[in-house]
Structure 1
Amino acid sequence: MNWEDFLTFRRMITPYLIQALFWIGVAISILAGCAILFGGITGAGIAGRRDGAGAILGALCLSPLVVLLGILLSRIYAELLIVTFRISETLTDIKELLERQRPTGA
């Protein structure tokens, strides 16, 4: 990417930012899974013997699911955004090629 394309908005920098947003989504998914896991364990301690095993079992089942689905959805969303911007860049390239091939007298 040269500076002229950057300064004239022919090329977007957003695809590079989307990768950073993906990793932020991964981090949030992992933190949410940990919060569910520790919340279930803490809830088991508060509930005592009555519902403690259910809270731990629920947390153990739900937290990996939240992490995996969160990472998967972050990846799908990032890929959709990147595809959208790549389509835009490709259309810009096609437009420039067609303008170069057009006869000047027409």
Structure 2
Amino acid sequence: MTPYLNLVGRDGIVVLIGAIDMVPRFHSGNLLMRRRSLSASMIGGIVETQELLDFCAHHGILPECELIAMADINEGFGRMERNDAKYRFVIDMATLERK
């Protein structure tokens, strides 16, 4: 667990997805000293996921993301490495050149 926690910055959250038999061991100081959080989710099935998407559409809830062109993918990766990405990057596949 520690290698994953080390990837998360201050005030970051590590989310365990799905059923696991046991939580891997880690030193609690790794959470406390950098104000990190550990959370978990079982993830709903198709019906629950569709209900969530319908709810979001009905209430105008949108993801926080930044659309980048395929040509800017290296710049986006560099920004991610520098923690300069405010939201998630989503690659605009319409900008992919056809060959």
Q: The TM-score by the shorter chain falls in which range?
A: under 0.3
Q: Which entry has the higher C-alpha Rg, 1 or 2?
A: 1
The structure with higher relative contact order (CA 8 Å, sep 6+) is 1
TM superposition score normalised by structure 1: 0.18
Give the strand-richer structure, 1 or 2: 2
